[in-house]
Chains A and B, each alone.
Chain A
């Protein structure tokens, strides 16, 4: 069986170094298989977070040859195996051990976003009527598996550490799913502008590039939200309209 070298980050709480492991590989394997094989045969205490092995749970996020990816969905035949394959933990989050990081910051961010607020039911039996077109607009955002690879790659979080001012692409997608939801009457535009820091995104589209679910994060979620914020707070014409409307009522 052919062999390949895997250069895996070993260490705790940010301290550590790469270590090389040679692994036997076979057809159809993904990076997570190799990590498991190394764990079972050469490095029993190697820490790695994983669960479904099918790209649905978003647990096994890592940086493979420098690219944020799910280990379970990265086939070896997509990598150059003539040189060592590097596997590292995500860099935007506090390091725990080996390939495991602490992603709990994301959970606290989600709690800050005003929840889904549906309008009163359309019919007396407590149901609503929704156009298919409106359903389709938000369908894409619901594919998110919260792997946080987009958060990992975003330079606002990764390089500039602006976790306090910016909620990151994952949660802008979440806000978009709520704001564009045909039943939702909540208003998150003020929060987007101030608390959530939407202005900090300068649409480099790295998040879209790494999304394993292929969500068009920048074009379909972030840019439309930016437009809504601009319309509300910065467009003199719509400001004028609003003044007139208020006078009329």
Chain B
């Protein structure tokens, strides 16, 4: 659903349709307030804004600096991670070079934290010329011989990307980066074994499903999620299909859906679907972004209501084949539904946890840690939110976590 945000690392197809279709079918959505902002997206030139700069750059020894050249991540290390974080720049460097005794540099703290630190530097006037901060891998020239070759070998696609799109040679000069909307932790609530939702026969996996990544996904875990739970969803869906027969489709409902889908072709020179999407992207980016607060989110709900009305007036030209304008017109319904759910869930969680940060409730609150925020579509079509207690963890799993500590 991150297509509802202006600055995003994702592509056009992230329109929240999976979430919205499941919600309409009666499935429960959970954790919808948790939207992940990746700390390092490209910010210049404007046309590449949001394109991902891999965490690998920091993994290979890349550091974040503000306009004064300061490693600002050292200034703000959350107490929870203090004993896992390097005490000095030197120790951080050794960690990136594979020294098992060294602790990781603060640049590799969780994505939400790094994203907020970057935002703070920019807001307080210590940002880079185009409104981000500097990500510098070229500095390792001081540390190793043939650094340029090393960087090109370890980060070939980043080298290529900056050279070609921004005229920046990352082996010689720092990149400018800033947060970009990246991933949705929330989604359809599913059974962990079968991946089936509350709606019998409806399965979800990956970014469409909720729960696996809690309030904040860690780098690399999406791929393993897809491989493991995608396989399970497929297997259980296939079994379900074998054991059940097709349900009856109501022809009247089918007809009305078709009519609704084709309406944009009949309206002439009305609202432009792309313009409505762009307005929604501004709303979500500015009012339900990295740092949230009640007044702004209430404003966002008003704006979303207006845009819903506008979305019912959109018109498109041409025919049904490969028509991006028509697709956008159809996607608006999903984008707006999911944007409203994200905003309402974020209003409901009056604390800061994981990727969800509230300026007006900037601390973690244990009471809120005991439940998930779940939304279902009510019989009257309204959004019904509830706080549902988190079931206790199985003993064997608890044990594993204890052992790993």
Assuming the contacts A28-B47, A29-B45, A53-B48, asked whether A40 and B275 have C-beta atoms less than 8 A apart, the reply is yes
**Chain B contacts with A in 25-54, Cβ cutoff 8 A:** 44-48, 51-52
Task: Please determine whether A39 and B45 come into contact, CB atoms closer than 8 angstroms.
Answer: no
Residue B370 CB within 8 A of the other chain: no
Residue A44 CB within 8 A of the other chain: yes
Instruction: Pick the residue among A28, A45, A96 that contacts B45 (CB under 8 A).
Output: A28
Contacts of A29 on B, CB cut-off 8 Å?
45-47
By secondary structure, the A interface counts as loop
The smallest C-beta distance from A231 to any residue of chain B, in angstroms, reads 32
Selected A-B contacts with CB under 8 Å, 27 pairs: A27-B46, A28-B44, A28-B45, A28-B46, A28-B48, A29-B45, A33-B47, A39-B324, A39-B325, A40-B272, A41-B272, A41-B274, A44-B273, A44-B274, A44-B316, A44-B317, A44-B318, A45-B319, A46-B325, A47-B321, A50-B11, A51-B11, A53-B48, A53-B51, A54-B165, A55-B160, A55-B161
Task: Please determine whether A96 and B322 come into contact, CB atoms closer than 8 angstroms.
Answer: yes
Instruction: Pick the residue among A27, A45, A51 that contacts B325 (CB under 8 A).
Output: A45
The smallest C-beta distance from A135 to any residue of chain B, in angstroms, reads 12
Contacts of A46 on B, CB cut-off 8 Å?
324-325
Residue B57 CB within 8 A of the other chain: no
Task: Please determine whether B47 and A39 come into contact, CB atoms closer than 8 angstroms.
Answer: no
How far does the alpha carbon of A12 sit from the alpha carbon of B322 in the complex, in Å? Answer: 10
Contacts of A96 on B, CB cut-off 8 Å?
321-322
A-B CB proximity, top 8 nearest: A28-B45, A45-B318, A44-B325, A40-B274, A47-B322, A33-B47, A45-B323, A97-B322
The smallest C-beta distance from A24 to any residue of chain B, in angstroms, reads 12
Instruction: Pick the residue among B51, B165, B317 that contacts A75 (CB under 8 A).
Output: B165
**Chain B contacts with A in 249-306, Cβ cutoff 8 A:** 272-275, 278
Residue B326 CB within 8 A of the other chain: yes
Residue B398 CB within 8 A of the other chain: no
**Chain A contacts with B in 79-128, Cβ cutoff 8 A:** 96-98, 100
Interface centre among B46, B273, B275 (most CB of A within 10 A): B46
Contacts of B324 on A, CB cut-off 8 Å?
39, 44-48
16 additional contacts, CB 8 Å, given A53-B51, A97-B321? Answer: A12-B321, A27-B45, A29-B45, A29-B46, A30-B165, A33-B47, A39-B274, A40-B275, A44-B323, A45-B318, A45-B323, A50-B11, A50-B12, A55-B161, A73-B164, A100-B322
Residue A56 CB within 8 A of the other chain: yes
Assuming the contacts A29-B45, A52-B11, A73-B165, asked whether A47 and B160 have C-beta atoms less than 8 A apart, the reply is no
Instruction: Pick the residue among B47, B156, B278, B323 that contacts A30 (CB under 8 A).
Output: B47
How far does the alpha carbon of A85 sit from the alpha carbon of B47 in the complex, in Å? Answer: 19
With both beta carbons as reference points, the residue of chain B lying nearest to A98 in the complex is identified as B322
Size of A's binding interface in residues, CB under 8 A: 29
How far does the alpha carbon of A29 sit from the alpha carbon of B47 in the complex, in Å? Answer: 6
How far does the alpha carbon of A39 sit from the alpha carbon of B52 in the complex, in Å? Answer: 24
With both beta carbons as reference points, the residue of chain B lying nearest to A25 in the complex is identified as B47
Residue B166 CB within 8 A of the other chain: yes
Task: Please determine whether B317 and A45 come into contact, CB atoms closer than 8 angstroms.
Answer: yes
Q: Mark A61-88, 1 if CB is under 8 A from B, else 0.
A: 0000000000001010000000000000
How far does the alpha carbon of A44 sit from the alpha carbon of B324 in the complex, in Å? Answer: 7
How far does the alpha carbon of A136 sit from the alpha carbon of B84 in the complex, in Å? Answer: 36
Contacts of B274 on A, CB cut-off 8 Å?
39-41, 44
Residue B365 CB within 8 A of the other chain: no
The smallest C-beta distance from A198 to any residue of chain B, in angstroms, reads 29
**Chain B contacts with A in 149-167, Cβ cutoff 8 A:** 156-157, 160-161, 164-166
**Chain B contacts with A in 116-172, Cβ cutoff 8 A:** 156-157, 160-161, 164-166
Contacts of A48 on B, CB cut-off 8 Å?
324
How far does the alpha carbon of A44 sit from the alpha carbon of B316 in the complex, in Å? Answer: 7
Contacts of B156 on A, CB cut-off 8 Å?
143
The smallest C-beta distance from B230 to any residue of chain A, in angstroms, reads 20
The smallest C-beta distance from A33 to any residue of chain B, in angstroms, reads 4
Contacts of B321 on A, CB cut-off 8 Å?
12, 47, 96-97
Task: Please determine whether B157 and A56 come into contact, CB atoms closer than 8 angstroms.
Answer: yes
How far does the alpha carbon of A84 sit from the alpha carbon of B370 in the complex, in Å? Answer: 62
How far does the alpha carbon of A26 sit from the alpha carbon of B164 in the complex, in Å? Answer: 16
**Chain B contacts with A in 315-359, Cβ cutoff 8 A:** 316-319, 321-326
Contacts of A98 on B, CB cut-off 8 Å?
322
Instruction: Pick the residue among B45, B272, B273, B323 that contacts A47 (CB under 8 A).
Output: B323
The smallest C-beta distance from B329 to any residue of chain A, in angstroms, reads 9
Contacts of A143 on B, CB cut-off 8 Å?
156
How far does the alpha carbon of A51 sit from the alpha carbon of B325 in the complex, in Å? Answer: 16
How far does the alpha carbon of A14 sit from the alpha carbon of B324 in the complex, in Å? Answer: 19
Assuming the contacts A44-B274, A44-B316, A45-B316, asked whether A28 and B161 have C-beta atoms less than 8 A apart, the reply is no
The smallest C-beta distance from B391 to any residue of chain A, in angstroms, reads 38
Interface centre among B319, B325, B326 (most CB of A within 10 A): B325
How far does the alpha carbon of A143 sit from the alpha carbon of B152 in the complex, in Å? Answer: 14
How far does the alpha carbon of A73 sit from the alpha carbon of B13 in the complex, in Å? Answer: 20
The smallest C-beta distance from B278 to any residue of chain A, in angstroms, reads 7
The smallest C-beta distance from B95 to any residue of chain A, in angstroms, reads 25
How far does the alpha carbon of A28 sit from the alpha carbon of B168 in the complex, in Å? Answer: 12
How far does the alpha carbon of A29 sit from the alpha carbon of B48 in the complex, in Å? Answer: 8
How far does the alpha carbon of A88 sit from the alpha carbon of B352 in the complex, in Å? Answer: 50
The smallest C-beta distance from A15 to any residue of chain B, in angstroms, reads 13
The smallest C-beta distance from B251 to any residue of chain A, in angstroms, reads 29
Interface centre among B46, B160, B318, B324 (most CB of A within 10 A): B324
Contacts of A55 on B, CB cut-off 8 Å?
160-161, 164
With both beta carbons as reference points, the residue of chain A lying nearest to B156 in the complex is identified as A143
